Structure 1
Amino acid sequence: MNFSLSSKVQFPLKPIAAVVLFFCASNEAFSAPGELSDVPLYSRGSAEPNLMFVLDSSGSMETMVLPVDGYDTSDPAGSSCSSPVSMTYTSNSCGHGGWGSCTRYYDDVEYRVNTSDGSVQIKLVDRNRAESDWFTWDSSSNCFDEDEDYTAWLYAEANSGGDSYYETGQDSDDYRESTTGHFLNWFFSKENGSGGYVADKFTDEDGNATRSKVDIRRTDIMKSAAQELISGLNDVRVGVMQFNTEHGAKLLSGLVSLTETNRNSILNIIEDIDANGNTPLAESFAGVGRYFISGYEGNNLTYIDSTGAEKQVPGEDIFSGSGTSTILNWGDVSAPDDTVDGGAIQYYCQKSFMVALTDGEPTRDNSISSDLTDYDYGCSSNSGGCTSDEMDDVLKALYDIDLRPDLKKTGGEEVVNNITSYIIGFAEDGLSDTNLMKNAGELGGGGVYDAGNAAELKVTFNTIINNVQSIVGSSSSVAFNTSSLKTNSSIFAVGFDSSAWSGNLAAWNLSDEGDIELNVDGNLGTSSIWEANSELDSIDPDSRVMLSYSNGTGVPFTASGLGITGTDHADDLNLDIQSSAGVYDGRASDRIDYLRGDRSNEGASTGSFRAREGRLGDIVNSTPVYVGEPSGPWSDYEFSGASSYDDFVSAKSNRTPVVYVGANDGFLHGFNASASGANAGKELIAYSPAALLSTTADEGLHALSSQYYTHKYYVDGTPTSSDVYINSSWKTVLVGGLGAGGKGYYALDITNPSDFTEENAADIVLWEFTDSDNNNLGYTFSRPQIYRMSNGEWAAIFGNGYNSSTGDAGLFIVYLDGEDSSGNSHVYISTGTADTSDKNGMSEPTIVDSDDDGTVDRIYAGDLKGNMWAFDVSSTGSWGVASSATSPSPLFSVPGEPITAAPQIARNIEHPFGASPNIIVAFGTGQYLVDSDTSDTNPGGFYVVSDNDVYNLSTSDLEKRTLHTNQVTAEDGSEWLLRSSSGDEFTWSDKSGWYMPLDEGSGLDGGERIVTRPTILNYVVFFNTLIPTGQVCAAGSDGWLMSVDVWTGLAPEDPVFDANKDGVIDEDDYGYIGEKPDDGTEGGPNKSGFLGSKQYTGTSDGGIYVREINLGGGDRAGRLSWEEITPN
């Protein structure tokens, strides 16, 4: 099955959507561009997800939990006692009959010795009990023997009368807990001012005894963890329920957005939860369903019964109690109304989640409607011997049933407005492993989690919320294995799933006409030649070739290669994130294994690493780069001392093709790009730049393994490859940056994929260049260009990036062989615009060899202040800004419009005039880097400017073009939008070019802008625009595909695309310059690729939009641009 003329195909990704959290804290001062986002801006959802907490309020939640928070086996508190002594017996009676004599040692602790077996019982008093009623821990016997094990019965008094206790839980040994004397010494001590530990009273300012180091009861721990979680949540609607005393759930707070007032109210509500009653899980979850259908409860819901028949039953009947039982106690909360956005579920794109915590299986929990009884058709008895086997039935129903069938997509397409449920088994060993709990987790869609104590509960909450607060996004970008359409052409596309921050790179065949070959049902995913994520998951981690950089040389990414102590890698990899703080845990070796792909340490329990969906991390802004046989232009040139390039091409003509792409798992990956064979799609190499290393808590490689992980960029830049002559031989090198992942570039020798081994690490890795080499280097968003300089050196050329410490905008020229004849590793050309309070930065450059001698003569790049700069590097002496004024001057300025994409360059062959170099520079303006960019209504524009050695040009020197939007209606009633442009004719001798302002934002939509590089084919300039949108249920961005006559700024004289959608491109399509991607796309266009007569455009919703284009012919046809359309 082929798509032709105009088609949209979808890159398959797992659909889990919600909103995302932004940013890590930073003390760095900057203005432009601002604090860079840690997540893709277009993945931001506009409908706040619903998150209902169901918290256990059963009587067993009064049970005490043995504390572990903060405990460290190496903590001196456990061994700093002056003289450990054995427990002694005195005549001082401790009461509570049945026990022998004991000694009281501590103000808010009573521990007793069983005279029969020597075990110790510890009793913690009520927090408000006066310390005067208790003996002080005697300084002569102030500790336990740290090397001894104590079997203790731990109690916490429930009231000052001493006749009720919170217990540690029941098991076969009654209430016994085994712990070490070291732990008990830590638990009953506190830190003094000098950093040591003393055994002392725990009293408040009024002299009353206080609790020990952590909360005592299960309910205290639950409330503390839930409050801490909700205190840090944003962009989500939260509600709270608890178990009703007898049946069903009690609603404590309906779903509300987390304003400061609502947040404080929910925190107070959680604090007031009491522990008493049963554990009616199925009934409570049915109560959740009853709440979520509010606004629609009187109408029918559809489900499939046990016979396979479709049934339609009123929602309030499905989610009800049997007999007179109450399934939902509304308490003091009013039911949501039935207005458009007044129900519990407000929009079709709004995701809903339940997080339920229980410390046991259901009890007295069999009062649900007959519609829900055995809804999963399982009816197997649960392992706990409880009275209910219906909890999993209810969770399956919540996940299966469309609870608001009246909420549909704009076009009427149905969606399932359901609830995904996460279940936490708390403080009971084995609870999450019972058949009932496992079934419930699976059928509810979210899974079941285990948390044994306070630390594990915080991790579990965090893991769940990271899942809930993820939204699927995929900014597809494309690359080809050829520069011209021919047999066996392939296309490569990348994407990601932000529910787990996993990524994929896949390859598809193109037909001889350039169409993507799909299977019979049109599914892109199953017809791919190969998919890198599944190939990578199938191999042994130890067999991977993984490299990094240390002490100036390439090293294997192994424990022995990186070092696990005393190295920069070790300093990073020995850290863990614990509650947003970096803590040394000495597990560098385990993290190295994890990053290599070992998954044995993944899980949700304390001490486990973050669970991954797959080994390949998300690929967001890095475009795949195909490197096959050598394809440089160097055969046309003779370089002094260089061997024959043609001989090099011949020798490497059959080397293994590789597609390289950066991922946010900490690595650049290289995959075998063959279309067939056993090794097609296999990873050949992975490189982790040392520039990523950090000892900041939530940065660096260690953050990737943490259960507190939130998305960060790592290797997010698009690399560049080229054939170069360095170190007395022709080589193929690859140079890449990190995007928002860091301030550094890396260079690799990729000449021979067959030599990719860890033993060859020192030969493969050429160098890294970071801000420690030059502090003008910022975050490396500039894709490097590789070419020969006029001094004979081969170099990587790139803008200095954003948010450097100096705030300057400048150009770097870094020598590929390490240094020039004077010992310089690089040249930096400043524009003199440094400002640390309102930082500037240089974006990606475009290079020009104007005299066609194989060396760079001129370089163009824009900055964040709206300046387009020209650099003159034609001489072998001084290089600098091209303006001849005493201070650097830009070619053109448009203040307030950042230039973040590279320009496109062409010879002004049709309208030559004025001084050399007589080059036209085409570029767009706009920024999409920081959170505020999504709502910025200021528009950008598109500019075509002639460089005739005249500087400080502005819009007054250009001819204006005005955009018009036209709505077209077909005979069948379908409608779509097209664009045209208008403006006066001009001559290039009177004007220095033309410009086209884009549309200003309005309402929830941001201003239109351009953040990708244009392309000039024949006389048509193609560029794509971006319109951020905050519209509810929009895809995050919109935009236009534009195709304009580069000389006039008006419609090309030959129609470029099928504007009227009649299947042909002819004179009826004349006059139009823009269209939006159609055929079901919901995302805006990203960068386009061109092959044959096809334009391939990745979209922000994960698709690839393909359309036929007409490039015209005749006298105006031909190549204008210096940059060939190449595979890489």
Structure 2
Amino acid sequence: MKTKYKKIVVAIQTAFITSLVCSALPSYASDTELYKAPQTSVTTIMFMLDVSGSMNPGSNDYGENRIQSLKNGMLKLLQGDTSQGIERLPDKLVVGLSEFSGTTGRIDLEARALGQEIDIGTKEIYRVSTSATFYLSRDLTRVNSRERYSTQTRTRRYSWSDWGNWSGWSNWTGWSGWSGSNPSASGEFVDSKVLGNTITVQECIDWNNINNSNDPSCKTWADSTKTLADLNGLNSTSQNQYANPNWSDQGGWVNIGSSNQTYNDVVTCTSSSWGTCYEQTNTRTNTESQNQKKSQTATIAGQVVTTYTGNAKDTHRNKMIRAVNALTAGGGTPTAFAYAEVAAYLMGQSTRNSSGSGFVSNVTNISGSTRYLNPETITSTKQCNTQGIYFLTDGVPEYGRNNSSLNIMRESLNDSGFRCTSDSLGGSTPYYNSSNNTNNWTCIGEYTKRLLKGGSNNPAGVSIKTAVVGFGSDMTGTPTSNKANDISDAKKWGILGGGGYYPGNNDADVVASVNAFLKKLQKYIPPVTTGSITIPVDNLDTQNIQPWGYFPQFDPAPDAQVTTWIGNLKKYQVVDNIIKDRDNKIVFDATKGISVDDPNDYWADTSIKKTITKIVQENNVDVEKEFEVRVGGALSQFKLGNVNNIERTIYTDRKVGNDGTTSSIGNDKALLQVSSADLKANNPTNNFSIDTKRGYLAALFGYNVTSAMASNLTTSNSDAANTSFVNFLTQSNATLRQMGAVMHSRPILITQKGTTQFDAKTGDLSYKDRDDLIVFGTTQGLLHVIRAGDSATDSNAGKEVFTFVPNEMIEKQSKGFLNQENQGRNLEYGVDGPWTAYTEYVTKSGTNASEPVVTVSGGKQWLYGGLRMGGRSYYALDLSDVTSTSGKPKIKFRISPDDAAAYSPISYMGQSWSKPTLAWINWQGSRKLVMIVGGGYDPIYENIGTPTSSSIDKGAGVYIFDAETGSVLWWASANAAADKVTETNVSNMKRSVVSQIKAIDRNSDGLVDHLYFGDLGGQLWRVDLDSSNQAGKTANLAKRVTRILNQSNASDVPRFYSTPTFTIHNNGGSLFAVLTIGSGNLSSPMSETNKNDALYAVYDKDVTRRNLSVLKDSELNSVDINSMTTGSKQLVKNTDGNTATSFSFGGWYYPLGSKKRVLNDNIAIDSDLYVSIFNANIDIDDVDCYGGVRGESKANQFCLPYGQCTVLSGNTIVVKNRPNEISLGKGNIGISFGGKDKNRGLVLNFPTTESLTNYTSKTKFISQRWYER
């Protein structure tokens, strides 16, 4: 027995079958158009607010300033309050304002989407205040002076006729002391400033002269959730702001220049008693002055205020803010009349002819001459929308004498037959306002029911819910006897209206009640769960396909304006070609074509549940009902928060420097693990506590971080922001259970170890104690590694081993880590590409000598994959040391075209769509493992048109990389230079190559000889590789690149997104290959363009020729085959899909019909070809509130090689009909093959009445590069 395992080999079926049965998941492009959102559900809410006198503090018994509390709450809803974690009401919410007091209700502001904009020209829009420390300087100046004096006198002569002579000057007196003038500052300068981390962004909500284009100034600023990045492109001016500084002298006074002396004479008189001047004295003053200065400095905290101007748009939100600020209180409480008024507005009716009406004709956007202009969102044709009245009152109803609301309600309903009864309200006694209240409560009750029922019950034909808020202590405290019944009916009123009753006393209660009402207004629109099953080959015994299927699920949200769609991955069993759960129930609804609501998959933690609300029909009426269902799948196993120091294991290639700068770690390095503790407290080994993206990363651990909190950390490193974040990371806030959509990243199985068992009686080889892992990416930007489970009852099955989040995902789409309600508006695709694995096993002794263990420990387990529409990178990860319970992954390399030098080979690559093909080649005389991929996808194909003939797409060509280092070994493209050892110029290879590359070993030496692939320009290529020792040295790796199919000149150029199928056939003793590939515009699968797609079968008569390597190009047979020519290169039309095309032609094609397409890989087995044909003619009714998946897929079977199905009847070959097509389900569903043991066949999501063929594989032994240690 020991000898038997000296050299282990594995039984597998023939190579081409093994490679094909894995093709289970569709190769979608940007196919989000396949998922039609439900007709958008828009919510309209009208606020009817009490502004009666008792809302003032001096007019109620409790001194409560209710009007201010109401306004504060409304403003927090409209503007948001990050300090309290309050998100502002969404832009798409349709809101209007009305208020009531005195005897009427009034419509103040029409209902519009809060985000609706009106262009008002160039204005100040945003203001950003950044904390700063200013370093100031200034010079003080003064005049320092001193004086001395000298005098002379003269006396009038006796005759008084003239004066005598002046006497001589006296001696100068001594100088006085220096005396300085009051100093003056000659200027104040900011020598430097250091900006702080506190940044506040504000948005203008009101302008001083909104209609004056010459005055751009803002009147009122409000806090905004915008970031600095949102303000790029706007004009800005900055201003330093700080208080009066405390100046410090820098030395004493310093003279400026020379002193200056001046002289000034002043003559004075001495008069006689009769007033005559008889003596004059001339006093001369000598003044010496000296200019002086002194320098001062100051340091002061302040802020830099930058004002941004641009094309301003006034929003309805701003109008609401201004209207709320303008509310004043005074008057009575006409409850029933106000209710009728606001309802009349919503229904587009009038109250103008009734007593107590608040209708005013011809008010812009509110009323016409005779009736209200109701919101556009409220029409009977928009049944998906919801609408409601938020009625806030602080007191019991008050009416004038004998004033009944019956007439105003009749007019608003346009129904003179409306009656008020006490069936619901008004049946108690006494009421505060005697019979008036009794009558009006009865009317309110019946009116409320008419609004709620909708249809023919009210003129709008829609259901209008009512929420009632009892505000203030009068409504929330213990009522006095004469008000008790009024308050009781108010509570019943809210419940009767379907919106609920909410007591409140402050602004927080206003916020809470509005949000609660909005939840009641949300109409449930069931998400569509769709996908295709993946059934992997057993890695340890590749002749067998596992009986397990992995079903990727996602909920399309095409109109939701979120960063990522959400999804899950579930494990089911394949039983009799059907997917079933562990309760042996079918998991797909055959009628609806989508998954059932509550399957019990093999990974489900059944204790993790969620409540869904569904609309069901009861008595032909749509009724909302709640159902509790299992979350199921890997998502149900996610750890939330940190319990007993156990949390999700998350690795990244992101590193953070000591200064907070970020970058990616280098090649062949261990990935960095990030923990929630690292986000809160400094860990010098990773510095994640200063990572500006830490708020978003926290969401991956299940903490339901708001967008405001996460965004605040990216713009502010203030202690307050960080403290708020750290305090939030508690277990009570770990409520976010979310996974991105598993759309295009097909789950793959990798096996880390298994113990060999051999049954001597049957000769069967099997494995126990397996460590199977499932790897897949999601649109959230993560790569997940999950325990598959080694049995149906494995309690660890479905648990996450680790998650890898690339640095570029953190940089590009970290908003997608948050709860969907808090995400950004642009859909991102994350890690959405298909991945593959390269494995080398080592054989080790087990506990039983006859049962050796095979393991990757000491061997190799390398993963390779791209991002698809998530980016252009390819990653290689090393999981050789990883098990389901231990080990740490490494990054081998990252190929990043975004960072490549201009004109370098990888700079021409597009989005990384190709599933990597791993193979061995002879490179410079040695065997080398390589990764082969197409050049990628050019986003130009997102436009329905096609590129010009002269242009070269991004992603045009094929690339071969060193699978260990990621370096480019060889590439071919129209972008390549003239032929060299490492590149081949192919002038017609101008179109994107997005599929997996088909690699063929023609002589079973383990080295690839040929590559096949199609492109988006209707071309199919073959590359013949050189396997000599000179390849990569002196000889080009490619012997020849041949275009074997050329449909580039067809009227509708076909696009090939899928991998060609390669099969070998015998024609009269001569072997030839058939390449089959289907066309279809996967970028726009529902479009009207390129309507005439086809399935192409091309005869390659050269690849099997022994002397192919020495043939001249002119000696080739299979070159530029097309449908437009004749003769040996003609592609013959196979109209019915069952007409033979002889070997003398170039092949055949089957036209699919208008708007039918092949969007997935085909599967060939035993000369049968299975093709999934997508039919875009099957669409969804545009008025469907529920949305769903567009199109449908059906499995079609064709016969190879000549396109005709035959059977041997005796000695005669007769033609047989092609099997009937088989429904695969709604949307784009690929072919899935699976089975049990060595038998396999088509696997379906739901049963079919059609006959299914089962195939039994033949066994052959091929070494799998296992080796002894």
1:745 pairs, out of 874, 882, 891, with 874
> Alpha carbons of 1:679 and 1:1112: their partners in 2 closer, same or farther (altered >3 Å)?
closer
One-letter code aligned to 2:307: E
1:847 pairs, out of 981, 999, 1005, with 999
Structure 2 CA distance, aligned partners of 1:1123 and 1:1071?
40
Structure 2 CA distance, aligned partners of 1:906 and 1:837?
24
In the other structure, the counterpart of 2:321 is 218
1:543 pairs, out of 622, 638, 647, with 647
In the other structure, the counterpart of 1:830 is 973
Quote how far apart the aligned CAs of 1:476 are: 2.8
* Matching of residues 596-745 of structure 1 within 5 Å: 596-599=701-704, 614-628=737-751, 654-674=769-789, 675=791, 676-692=793-809, 694=811, 706-724=822-840, 730-745=859-874
Quote how far apart the aligned CAs of 1:551 are: 2.6
In the other structure, the counterpart of 2:1235 is 1091
Contact kept? 2:752, 2:772, Cα under 8 Å: yes
Structure 2 CA distance, aligned partners of 1:836 and 1:249?
68
Structure 1 CA distance, aligned partners of 2:869 and 2:516?
41
Deviations 1:177-212 (A, max 9, x none): xxxxx99999xx87389x9xxxxxxxx99xxxx999
Residue 529 (1) aligns with residue 619 (2)? no
* Matching of residues 442-481 of structure 1 within 5 Å: 471-480=527-536
Contact kept? 1:1077, 1:1085, Cα under 8 Å: no
One-letter code aligned to 1:545: T
Structure 1 CA distance, aligned partners of 2:492 and 2:1161?
59
Residue 947 (1) aligns with residue 1106 (2)? no
Deviations 1:333-372 (A, max 9, x none): xx9999xxx9979xxxxxx9x899x996689xx9xxxxxx
Contact kept? 1:53, 1:355, Cα under 8 Å: no
Contact kept? 2:930, 2:961, Cα under 8 Å: yes
Structure 1 CA distance, aligned partners of 2:50 and 2:709?
26
Structure 2 CA distance, aligned partners of 1:426 and 1:874?
83
Structure 2 CA distance, aligned partners of 1:707 and 1:183?
35
One-letter code aligned to 2:1165: L
Quote how far apart the aligned CAs of 1:1053 are: 3.6
2:508 pairs, out of 422, 429, 433, with 429
Structure 1 CA distance, aligned partners of 2:781 and 2:997?
26
Contact kept? 1:41, 1:934, Cα under 8 Å: no
> Alpha carbons of 1:1046 and 1:997: their partners in 2 closer, same or farther (altered >3 Å)?
same
Contact kept? 2:1025, 2:1039, Cα under 8 Å: no
In the other structure, the counterpart of 2:672 is 556
Aligned to 2:995, the other structure's residue is in SS state coil
Identical pairs, percent: 16
In the other structure, the counterpart of 1:489 is 547
> Alpha carbons of 1:665 and 1:757: their partners in 2 closer, same or farther (altered >3 Å)?
farther
**How many pairs are equivalent?**
776
Contact kept? 1:78, 1:146, Cα under 8 Å: no
Question: Which moved further from structure 2: 47-56 or 774-783?
Answer: 47-56
User: TM-score normalized by structure 2?
Assistant: 0.50
Residue 801 (1) aligns with residue 936 (2)? yes
Structure 1 CA distance, aligned partners of 2:1199 and 2:471?
71
Structure 1 CA distance, aligned partners of 2:745 and 2:318?
47
Aligned to 1:218, the other structure's residue is in SS state helix
One-letter code aligned to 1:476: S
User: TM-score normalized by structure 1?
Assistant: 0.56
Residue 387 (1) aligns with residue 490 (2)? yes
In the other structure, the counterpart of 1:11 is none
> Alpha carbons of 1:751 and 1:835: their partners in 2 closer, same or farther (altered >3 Å)?
same
Aligned to 2:1231, the other structure's residue is in SS state strand
Quote how far apart the aligned CAs of 1:707 are: 3.2
In the other structure, the counterpart of 2:696 is 591
Aligned to 1:478, the other structure's residue is in SS state coil
Quote how far apart the aligned CAs of 1:690 are: 3.5
Structure 2 CA distance, aligned partners of 1:1048 and 1:424?
78
Contact kept? 2:1077, 2:1096, Cα under 8 Å: yes
Quote how far apart the aligned CAs of 1:713 are: 0.6
Contact kept? 1:898, 1:925, Cα under 8 Å: yes
2:1017 pairs, out of 865, 883, 888, with 865
Structure 2 CA distance, aligned partners of 1:57 and 1:522?
51
Contact kept? 2:1092, 2:1152, Cα under 8 Å: yes
Aligned to 1:909, the other structure's residue is in SS state strand
In the other structure, the counterpart of 1:507 is 571
> Alpha carbons of 1:143 and 1:439: their partners in 2 closer, same or farther (altered >3 Å)?
closer
In the other structure, the counterpart of 1:581 is none
Deviations 1:391-429 (A, max 9, x none): 3443379xxxxxxxxxxxxxxxxxxxxxxx9x9999932
Residue 907 (1) aligns with residue 1075 (2)? no
Aligned to 2:1120, the other structure's residue is in SS state coil
Deviations 1:819-870 (A, max 9, x none): 6xxxx54422225599999963443211111111111111111111011111
Quote how far apart the aligned CAs of 1:495 are: 0.5
* Matching of residues 264-275 of structure 1 within 5 Å: none
Residue 920 (1) aligns with residue 1074 (2)? yes
In the other structure, the counterpart of 1:169 is none
Aligned to 2:552, the other structure's residue is in SS state strand
Structure 2 CA distance, aligned partners of 1:598 and 1:912?
68
In the other structure, the counterpart of 2:561 is none
> Alpha carbons of 1:433 and 1:904: their partners in 2 closer, same or farther (altered >3 Å)?
same
Contact kept? 2:1020, 2:1044, Cα under 8 Å: yes
One-letter code aligned to 1:688: V
Structure 1 CA distance, aligned partners of 2:1015 and 2:36?
26
Aligned to 1:430, the other structure's residue is in SS state helix
Aligned to 1:775, the other structure's residue is in SS state helix
Residue 251 (1) aligns with residue 346 (2)? yes
* Matching of residues 353-392 of structure 1 within 5 Å: 387-392=490-495
More strand by share: 2
Contact kept? 1:511, 1:517, Cα under 8 Å: no
1:782 pairs, out of 914, 918, 936, with 914
Residue 816 (1) aligns with residue 963 (2)? yes
Aligned to 1:801, the other structure's residue is in SS state coil
Contact kept? 1:479, 1:623, Cα under 8 Å: no
Contact kept? 2:243, 2:302, Cα under 8 Å: no
Aligned to 1:41, the other structure's residue is in SS state helix
Unaligned runs of 5+ in 1: 1-32, 84-122, 148-181, 196-203, 224-241, 255-263, 283-289, 299-304, 306-319, 346-351, 367-380, 398-420, 447-466, 575-584, 632-649, 965-980, 1001-1006, 1056-1066
> Alpha carbons of 1:837 and 1:1112: their partners in 2 closer, same or farther (altered >3 Å)?
closer
Quote how far apart the aligned CAs of 1:51 are: 2.3
In the other structure, the counterpart of 1:1110 is 1253
- Kindly report the root-mean-square deviation, in angstroms, between the aligned alpha carbons of the 2 structures: 6.6
> Alpha carbons of 1:267 and 1:1072: their partners in 2 closer, same or farther (altered >3 Å)?
farther
> Alpha carbons of 1:836 and 1:1050: their partners in 2 closer, same or farther (altered >3 Å)?
closer
> Alpha carbons of 1:778 and 1:882: their partners in 2 closer, same or farther (altered >3 Å)?
same
> Alpha carbons of 1:426 and 1:1025: their partners in 2 closer, same or farther (altered >3 Å)?
farther
In the other structure, the counterpart of 1:1048 is 1202
Quote how far apart the aligned CAs of 1:1091 are: 2.6
Residue 42 (1) aligns with residue 42 (2)? no
Mark the structure with the bigger radius of gyration.
Answer: 2
Structure 2 CA distance, aligned partners of 1:769 and 1:995?
38
Contact kept? 2:242, 2:303, Cα under 8 Å: yes
Contact kept? 2:647, 2:701, Cα under 8 Å: no
> Alpha carbons of 1:1040 and 1:192: their partners in 2 closer, same or farther (altered >3 Å)?
closer
Quote how far apart the aligned CAs of 1:430 are: 2.8
In the other structure, the counterpart of 2:121 is none
Contact kept? 1:244, 1:329, Cα under 8 Å: no
Residue 998 (1) aligns with residue 1152 (2)? yes
